[in-house]
């Protein structure tokens, strides 16, 4: 019988145990460490045969160690040219030299043992990797559960208000967060935030930010002051290159006033009767620079109006052709849904439709909607309002401000009113008025900026059709267009007027009533076409 002694080549996946397991449980004498850069490693890889240790002349610490351990001969175990272990033998118990037969037997044994040892090594390596993975996954599951507890477990139930939230991290844990805070005086704090980066680092910063924000919100009624405080506390502790965008709004649920400040977060959308606007306020993201100031703004939400807060995971989602979901799509859905659960459902199903069901979610997605509902007393209209004068919405949509898109607006309005039995001639007039109104809105109000859509609302009572066309031009642009001189063909032919300038004239000639209103952000025209009457009603 041989004495087996097993050496290590010093690697982390050391074959020493493996060889013990596989080759011999008998009389392991001592393990010998062989450094990976020892010259013997290269030597063993080239000989691929039984080696007599005493005859080696290599200047090698390993050879010295093997001799001291009493090793007489060593047989390298090679797998695909790589040394994965050694069979080391001391002197024969008979004290005779190893015979040629012995050597042949050892050499054969090494050839057959090497692949088996390699397989065993790989199996063990895989097993330990799987264990490590399982441990990480388990930790992430726990982290995910902990993070869920940091998000509101339910949305606040407040009379005349509908609050809804949706949160889905791209991985087990994420850097997005939202929060509802009960504040003094029946006010409600609403927070949406987004930490740069994803996964565990982002989740840790998210937890810290949420805690600081909660504490700061209790001490101040000013959203700007709260963000300033959070920024100053977060700045010294946040890792370099990480920061947090955050929108903080304080909602007075009695008056509908929303007081808000923004630390570099995507602008919320407000949906009002006249269209969609963005709640702007300037401020740097949290954790970038100390001593920042945050602008505060205030808007009032009327009954029926809503606000959407969201994170960039929605607008920056890509489809298979790397096209981005983008703001116009989001804005379009905000325009066509009254807010609350229906808006969130619509956004999520549209997002899935856009990215395809199988595409991996790129970034965390967070949505929070706040809607002031029409209270019961307001929902029942005054008895003096009868069906003849009450307008019901037929369609609401957005048109991207690009030359030629007035045709879309025209056809969609025509489709919306198709059941109203407008005589053909009057329908054609309405279509021309809508096309001209949309062209004006895209060109003068929105300067053909593709990201600033024109909002169109079609409504009808029993007596009339109303088409509202809203752009983002505001009072100034509206003044310019209303100052336009009435076109006079005689003057044009005489070169006294430009050949152009027919748009507004045509609109006024085409419809029964034409109204305009403007505020500092929007210009709104309303076209009214009476039903069933008119001089050309019978054509």
Partner 1 sequence: MATGSLATKVRRQNTIAVIDMSGEINALAEESLNGAYTEATEANPSAVLLNFAEVGYINSTGIALIVGVLMKARESATSIAACGLSDHFAEIFRITRLSDYMPIYPNEDTATQSFASGQ
Q: Which is nearer to partner 1, 81 or 403 (CB)?
A: 403
The residue assigned the tokens 């982290």 is 143
Taking the complex as a whole, how short is the minimal distance between the CB of residue 242 and partner 1, in angstroms?
49
Site for partner 1 in 42-61 (CB under 8 A): none
Which of 169, 171, 147, 193 has the alpha carbon at shortest distance from 287?
A: 193
Strands 306-310 and 269-272: antiparallel
Q: Does 483 bind partner 1 (CB under 8 A)?
A: no
Q: Which is nearer to partner 1, 36 or 404 (CB)?
A: 404
Q: Which is nearer to partner 1, 116 or 484 (CB)?
A: 484
% helix, strand, coil for the chain, step of 5: 40, 25, 40
Q: Which is nearer to partner 1, 131 or 498 (CB)?
A: 498
Which of 371, 415, 420, 370 has the alpha carbon at shortest distance from 392?
A: 420
Tell me which of 272, 432, 461, 517 binds partner 1, using CB under 8 A. Answer: 432
Tell me which of 122, 132, 302, 493 binds partner 1, using CB under 8 A. Answer: 493
Supply the DSSP string of 386-422, one letter for each residue. Answer: -TTT--EEEEEEEE---TTTHHHHHHHHHHHTGGG--
Tell me which of 251, 261, 347, 439 binds partner 1, using CB under 8 A. Answer: 439
Taking the complex as a whole, how short is the minimal distance between the CB of residue 512 and partner 1, in angstroms?
15
Tell me which of 79, 502, 530, 533 binds partner 1, using CB under 8 A. Answer: 502
Q: Which is nearer to partner 1, 224 or 503 (CB)?
A: 503
Q: Which is nearer to partner 1, 216 or 430 (CB)?
A: 430
The residue assigned the tokens 């090497």 is 114
Q: Does 496 bind partner 1 (CB under 8 A)?
A: no
Task: Retrieve residue 136's tokens.
Answer: 């990480």
Q: Which is nearer to partner 1, 185 or 495 (CB)?
A: 495
Of 51-59, 203-211, 371-379, 431-439, the segment contacting partner 1 by CB under 8 A is: 431-439
Q: Does 198 bind partner 1 (CB under 8 A)?
A: no
Q: Which is nearer to partner 1, 356 or 404 (CB)?
A: 404
Q: Which is nearer to partner 1, 341 or 493 (CB)?
A: 493
Of 130-138, 195-203, 318-326, 486-494, the segment contacting partner 1 by CB under 8 A is: 486-494
**Distances, alpha carbon 17 to alpha carbons 13, 31, 130, 234, 448, in Å:** 10, 10, 19, 50, 74
Tell me which of 158, 425, 475, 484 binds partner 1, using CB under 8 A. Answer: 425
Tell me which of 257, 297, 492, 521 binds partner 1, using CB under 8 A. Answer: 492
Tell me which of 385, 403, 496, 538 binds partner 1, using CB under 8 A. Answer: 403
Taking the complex as a whole, how short is the minimal distance between the CB of residue 463 and partner 1, in angstroms?
23
Helix (H) or strand (E) segment spanning residue 459 = strand 454-460
Taking the complex as a whole, how short is the minimal distance between the CB of residue 415 and partner 1, in angstroms?
16
Inter-residue long-range contacts of 168-172, CB under 8 Å, 24+ positions, other chains counted: 168/361, 168/364, 168/365, 168/366, 169/144, 169/198, 169/364, 170/198, 170/313, 170/360, 170/361, 170/362, 170/363, 170/364, 170/365, 171/140, 171/198, 171/199, 172/140, 172/141, 172/143, 172/144, 172/199
Q: Which is nearer to partner 1, 387 or 494 (CB)?
A: 494
Judge whether 378 and 303 are in contact, CB under 8 Å. Answer: yes
Q: How many residues bind partner 1 (CB under 8 A)?
A: 27
**What are the DSSP E strand ranges found in 210-335?**
244-252, 257-263, 269-272, 275-278, 296-300, 306-310
Q: Does 313 bind partner 1 (CB under 8 A)?
A: no
Q: Does 503 bind partner 1 (CB under 8 A)?
A: yes
Tell me which of 185, 291, 381, 404 binds partner 1, using CB under 8 A. Answer: 404
List CB contacts of 502: < 8 A, sequence separation 6 or more. 487
Q: Does 422 bind partner 1 (CB under 8 A)?
A: no
Compute the distance between CA of residue 267 and CA of residue 134 in angstroms, rounded to an integer: 40
**Per-residue binding letters, 509-528, with partner 1 (x by CB under 8 A):** x-------------------
Taking the complex as a whole, how short is the minimal distance between the CB of residue 199 and partner 1, in angstroms?
51
Judge whether 373 and 304 are in contact, CB under 8 Å. Answer: yes
Q: Does 537 bind partner 1 (CB under 8 A)?
A: no
Taking the complex as a whole, how short is the minimal distance between the CB of residue 328 and partner 1, in angstroms?
23
Q: Which is nearer to partner 1, 204 or 506 (CB)?
A: 506
Compute the distance between CA of residue 192 and CA of residue 307 in angstroms, rounded to an integer: 12
Of 12-20, 261-269, 333-341, 496-504, the segment contacting partner 1 by CB under 8 A is: 496-504
Task: Retrieve residue 6's tokens.
Answer: 């097993």
Furthest-apart CA pair in the chain: how many Å?
Answer: 130
Handedness of CA 109, 115, 118, 120 (dihedral sign): negative
Compute the distance between CA of residue 539 and CA of residue 520 in angstroms, rounded to an integer: 42
Of 61-69, 128-136, 389-397, 489-497, the segment contacting partner 1 by CB under 8 A is: 489-497
The residue assigned the tokens 């004239």 is 505
Q: Which is nearer to partner 1, 363 or 406 (CB)?
A: 406
**Distances, alpha carbon 257 to alpha carbons 188, 191, 246, 371, in Å:** 11, 16, 20, 12
Taking the complex as a whole, how short is the minimal distance between the CB of residue 442 and partner 1, in angstroms?
12
Taking the complex as a whole, how short is the minimal distance between the CB of residue 250 and partner 1, in angstroms?
47
Of 138-146, 211-219, 351-359, 425-433, the segment contacting partner 1 by CB under 8 A is: 425-433
Strands 32-33 and 7-8: parallel
CA angle 292, 311, 191 (to 5 degrees): 60
Where along the sequence are the contacts to partner 1 (CB under 8 A)?
A: 403-404, 406-407, 425, 428-429, 432, 435-436, 439, 487, 489-490, 492-493, 495, 498-503, 505-506, 509, 539
């Amino acid at each position: 019988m041989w004495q087996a002694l097993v050496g290590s080549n010093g690697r982390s996946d050391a074959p020493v145990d493996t060889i013990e397991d596989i080759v011999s449980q008998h009389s392991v004498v001592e393990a010998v460490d062989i450094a990976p850069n020892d010259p013997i490693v290269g030597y063993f890889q080239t000989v691929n045969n039984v080696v007599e240790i005493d005859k080696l002349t290599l200047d090698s610490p390993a050879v010295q160690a093997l001799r001291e351990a009493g090793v007489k001969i060593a047989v390298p175990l090679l797998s695909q040219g790589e040394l994965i272990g050694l069979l080391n033998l001391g002197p024969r118990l008979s004290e005779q030299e190893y015979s040629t037969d012995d050597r042949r037997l050892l050499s054969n044994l090494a050839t057959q043992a090497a692949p088996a040892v390699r397989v065993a090594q790989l199996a063990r390596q895989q097993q330990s990797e799987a264990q490590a993975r399982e441990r990480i996954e388990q930790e992430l599951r726990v982290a995910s559960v902990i993070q869920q507890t940091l998000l509101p477990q339910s949305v606040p139930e407040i009379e005349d208000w509908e609050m809804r939230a949706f949160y889905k991290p791209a991985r087990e844990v994420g850097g997005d967060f939202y929060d509802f805070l009960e504040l003094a005086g029946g006010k409600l704090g609403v927070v949406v935030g987004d930490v740069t980066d994803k996964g565990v680092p982002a989740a840790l910063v998210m937890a810290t930010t949420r805690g600081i924000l909660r504490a700061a919100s209790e001490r101040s009624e000013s959203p700007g002051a709260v963000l300033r405080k959070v920024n100053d506390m977060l700045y010294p502790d946040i890792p370099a290159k990480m920061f947090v965008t955050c929108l903080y709004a304080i909602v007075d649920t009695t008056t509908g006033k929303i007081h808000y400040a923004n630390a570099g977060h995507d602008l919320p959308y407000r949906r009002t009767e006249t269209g969609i606007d963005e709640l702007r306020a300037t401020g740097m993201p949290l954790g970038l620079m100390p001593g920042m100031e945050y602008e505060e703004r205030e808007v009032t939400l009327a009954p029926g109006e809503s606000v959407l807060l969201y994170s960039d995971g929605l607008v920056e989602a890509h489809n298979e052709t790397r096209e981005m979901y983008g703001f116009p799509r989001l804005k379009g859905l905000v325009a066509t849904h009254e807010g609350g659960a229906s808006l969130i459902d619509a956004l999520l199903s549209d997002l899935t439709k856009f990215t395809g069901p199988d595409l991996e979610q790129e970034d965390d997605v967070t949505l929070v909607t706040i809607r002031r509902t029409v209270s019961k007393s307001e929902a029942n209209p005054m008895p003096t309002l009868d069906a003849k004068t009450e307008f019901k919405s037929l369609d609401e949509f957005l048109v991207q401000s690009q030359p030629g898109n007035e045709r879309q607006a025209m056809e969609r309005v025509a489709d919306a009113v198709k059941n109203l039995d407008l005589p053909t001639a009057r329908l054609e007039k309405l279509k021309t008025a809508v096309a001209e109104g949309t062209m004006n809105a895209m060109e003068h109000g929105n300067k053909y900026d593709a990201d600033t859509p024109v909002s169109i609302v079609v409504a009808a009572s029993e007596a009339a059709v109303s088409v509202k066309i809203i752009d983002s031009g505001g009072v100034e642009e509206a003044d310019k267009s209303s100052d336009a001189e009435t076109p006079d063909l005689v003057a044009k032919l005489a070169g006294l007027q430009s050949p152009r300038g027919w748009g507004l004239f045509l609109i006024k000639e085409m419809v029964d009533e034409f109204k305009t209103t403007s505020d500092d952000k929007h210009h709104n025209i309303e076209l009214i076409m009476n039903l069933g009457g008119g001089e050309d009603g019978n054509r």
